[in-house]
C-alpha cells in the first residue's frame, strides 16, 4: 500500500513543514513616507533574525512612535545617526533615491519599483554599484555581475551589507547545519529518493540506486509523482 511520500506530507501544510514566520522580527524595507521630506533617525539596536544572514538595525526616527528596521550596513553601530529622504547626506547607512547618488557609489537594498520598500541586494556581504544615471533610468551592476535598469526614483541605501564572509566559515559538523537550517523554511537533511524504499519514493527500490525511469515529470503531475526534475526544459551535461 505504501505511505505518503515526503512531498505529499509537505503539501498538507502541518506545523512540521510550515515556514517559521513567528521567528521573524520585522520586514527589512524602506518606510513609506512623504516625498520631498528628509527623516533623521538613530540606530538603537542591532539584532539577529532567524534565517537572515545580515543583522537588522532597529531605527527610531524623530517624530515617529514605532521603530523601523533596515538591513544593517557594514560599520553600523548603536547610536549612529541615519537619514532617509531626498536631501539626505551621502553617507554610510543613509537612504536616497538613485538619481541623487553619484555613479560608482556602492548601494544595497534597492527598490524594484518606487515605493516597494527594497527587494534587491539584501544578503550579507553584498553590494551593488551604480554605473550610469540619466532622466529615464539608472543602470546598476548587481553582485552577480549583470546590469539592471531601475527607475531613478527608486530608493537605495548607501554602503555594503554587514556580515560579509559569513558563508566562508565551514560548518565542521552536521549539528551546526541542523541549527542553521532550523531558523529557515528549508528542511535538512534531505534524503535522496533513490536511497529510499520503493514504498517511500517513486525513485526508490531496485537492486541498485537509480530511478529506473526518466526523472523529468510534468508540471501538472499529481502529488506523489511530482518528484525529480519538474518541468525541466533540458537535462544532462552541456557540451558547449
Q: Where are the domains of the chain?
A: 1-17+187-240, 22-166
What's the CA gap between 218 and 199, in Å, rounded?
Answer: 21
Q: Are 134 and 149 in contact (CB under 8 A)?
A: no
| CA neighbor of 73 nearest in space, from 144, 26, 130, 121 | 121
1-17+187-240: what CATH class?
A: few secondary structures
Predicted confidence at residue 120, as pLDDT, reads 96
CATH class of 22-166: mainly beta
Q: What is the pLDDT of residue 11?
A: 74
Q: According to the model, what pLDDT value does residue 84 have?
A: 92
Over residues 134-146, the pLDDT tens digits come to 989 999 999 999 9
Rounded to whole angstroms, the Cα distance separating 219 from 73 reads 41
Give the per-residue pLDDT at 200. 86
Q: Is the pLDDT of residue 15 over 90?
A: no
Q: Residue 1: its pLDDT value, please?
A: 52
Rounded average pLDDT over 152-173 = 94
Task: Decide if 228 contacts 215 (C-beta within 8 A).
Answer: yes
Checking if the pLDDT of 63 tops 80, the result is yes
Q: 3-state secondary structure string, 187-207? A: CCCCCCHHHCCCCCCCCCCCC
User: Which range among 31-40, 69-78, 183-192, 221-230 has the greatest average pLDDT?
Assistant: 69-78
Report, as an integer, the average pLDDT of 57-85. Answer: 93
Percentage of residues of the chain with pLDDT beyond 70? 99
Confidence of residue 23 (pLDDT cuts 50, 70, 90): confident
Q: Is the pLDDT of residue 236 over 90?
A: no
Contact status, residue 27 vs residue 117, Cβ threshold 8 Å: yes
pLDDT of residue 224: 83
Q: How far apart are CA 6 and CA 236, in angstroms?
A: 25
Q: What is the mean pLDDT of residues 182-189?
A: 83
Amino acid at each position: 500500500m505504501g505511505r505518503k511520500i515526503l512531498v505529499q506530507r509537505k503539501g498538507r501544510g502541518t506545523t512540521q513543514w510550515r515556514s517559521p514566520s513567528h521567528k521573524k522580527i520585522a520586514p527589512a524595507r524602506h518606510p513609506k513616507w512623504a516625498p520631498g521630506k528628509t527623516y533623521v533617525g538613530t540606530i538603537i539596536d542591532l539584532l539577529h533574525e532567524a534565517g537572515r544572514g545580515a543583522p537588522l538595525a532597529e531605527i527610531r526616527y524623530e517624530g515617529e512612535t514605532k521603530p523601523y528596521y533596515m538591513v544593517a550596513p557594514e560599520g553600523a553601530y548603536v547610536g549612529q545617526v541615519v537619514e532617509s529622504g531626498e536631501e539626505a547626506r551621502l553617507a554610510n547607512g543613509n537612504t536616497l533615491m538613485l538619481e541623487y547618488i553619484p555613479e560608482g557609489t556602492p548601494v544595497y537594498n534597492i527598490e524594484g519599483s518606487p515605493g516597494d520598500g527594497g527587494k534587491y541586494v539584501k544578503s550579507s556581504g553584498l553590494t551593488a554599484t551604480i554605473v550610469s544615471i540619466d532622466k529615464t533610468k539608472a543602470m546598476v551592476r548587481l553582485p552577480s555581475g549583470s546590469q539592471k535598469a531601475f527607475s531613478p526614483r527608486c530608493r537605495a541605501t548607501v554602503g555594503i551589507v554587514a556580515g560579509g564572509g559569513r558563508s566562508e566559515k565551514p560548518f565542521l559538523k552536521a549539528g551546526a547545519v541542523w541549527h542553521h537550517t532550523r531558523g529557515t523554511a528549508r528542511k535538512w537533511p534531505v534524503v535522496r529518493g533513490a536511497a529510499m524504499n520503493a514504498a517511500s519514493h517513486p525513485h526508490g527500490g531496485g537492486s541498485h540506486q537509480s530511478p529506473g525511469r526518466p526523472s523529468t515529470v510534468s508540471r501538472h503531475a499529481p502529488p506523489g509523482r511530482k518528484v525529480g526534475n519538474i518541468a525541466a526544459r533540458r537535462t544532462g551535461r552541456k557540451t558547449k
